[in-house]
Amino acid sequence: MAVLDIVKFPDPRLRLKAKPVQTFDKSLQKLIDDMLETMRAAPGVGLAAPQIGQSLRLAVVEYADEEEEDAKPKTYVLINPEIVKTSQETVVATEACLSLPNLAGEVERYEDITVKAKNRYGKPMKITASGWLARIFQHEIDHLNGVLFIDRATNVYELTDEEMAEIKD
Ligand code: NI
C-alpha cells in the first residue's frame, strides 16, 4: 500500500466529472487500498478518487457513527454511487476538505440520504445514512461531479491547523 499525493485546489482535476468504474480488477483493489491508507494518513473521514488525480467514480469513507455509543469506525467503499433518496430536512454544519487545506465553511446538506453504489467487488448495495455520515457521503459524491464544498458554502473562512483539527471532516 502507498500514501498518495492529495490534489489541491485549484488543480483543474478537481473540477472534472469523473468516469464510472467499469472493471473491478486487481489494480482497482490496489487503488482502493492506497486511497484508504491516504485517507487515514491525512487524516480524513473521506477521500474521492479525483482528489488523488484519478477521474473515477470512487470514494472511500471511514467514520464512527455518532449516534452509537463507543462506535468503532466503519469503512465504506462507494463505487459509482448515486443518491436515490433524500430527506426534506436539511442541516447546516461546518465542512472542510483535504484538497482545500485550512479552509472551512457552513454547508447545507440533506439530513438523510439513501445511496445506491457498488462495493469494491462490484456487488450492488444500498446504504441509508443520516447526520454526519450522510454529510460525508454528499461531500464525496460532489467530488465525483467536480463540485467542492466552497461552491455550496454560504461563507468560507481560513482556519489555523489547531482549529482545523477540531472539525470532523
Ligand atoms: Ni473533500
Model confidence pLDDT, tens digit, residues 33-68: 999 999 999 999 999 999 999 999 999 999 987 767
- The CATH number for 76's domain is 3.90.45.10
Stretch 119-139: mean pLDDT: 97
Question: How many Å lie between the centroid of ligand 1 and the Cα of residue 99?
Answer: 6
Is residue 99 assigned to a domain? yes
More confident residue, 147 or 1: 147
Task: Return the pLDDT at 163.
Answer: 81
Q: What is the pLDDT of residues 37-46, one digit of tens each?
A: 999 999 999 9
Render pLDDT for 133-147 as a digit per residue (tens, 0 to 9).
Answer: 999 999 999 999 999
Q: Judge whether 4 lies within some domain.
A: no
Whether 7 is covered by a domain: the verdict is: no
What pLDDT is attached to residue 75? 97
**107 lies in some domain:** yes
Domain span holding position 138? 12-168
Per-residue model confidence (pLDDT) at position 169: 52
Q: Give dist(CA 152, CA 160) in Å, integer.
A: 22
Work out the average pLDDT over 116-139. 97
140 catalytically annotated:
yes
Q: What is the per-residue DSSP string for 102-145?
A: TEEEEEEEESEEEEEEE-TTS-EEEEEEEHHHHHHHHHHHHHHT
Look up residue 10 and give its three cell numbers: 485549484
Q: 121 in a domain, yes or no?
A: yes
Ligand 1 centre distance from Cα of residue 146 (Å): 10
| 101 CB-contact burial (10 Å; exposed 0-12 / middle 13-18 / buried 19+) | middle
**Catalytic pick among 37, 69, 140, 163:** 140
| Position 76 pLDDT exceeds 60 | yes
Give the Å distance between the CA of 98 and the centre of ligand 1: 6
Instruction: Please give the pLDDT value at position 69.
Output: 77
Mean pLDDT for 86-95 is 97
Residues with CB under 5 A from ligand 1 (ion): 97
Say if 2 falls within a structural domain.
no
More confident residue, 169 or 70: 70
Query: Does residue 5 form part of some domain?
Result: no
From 97, 82, 2, 7, select the one nearest 49 (Cα to Cα).
Answer: 7
Asked whether residue 1 is assigned to any structural domain, the reply reads no
Instruction: Output the CA 11–ligand 1 centroid distance in Å.
Output: 13
The domain total for the chain is 1
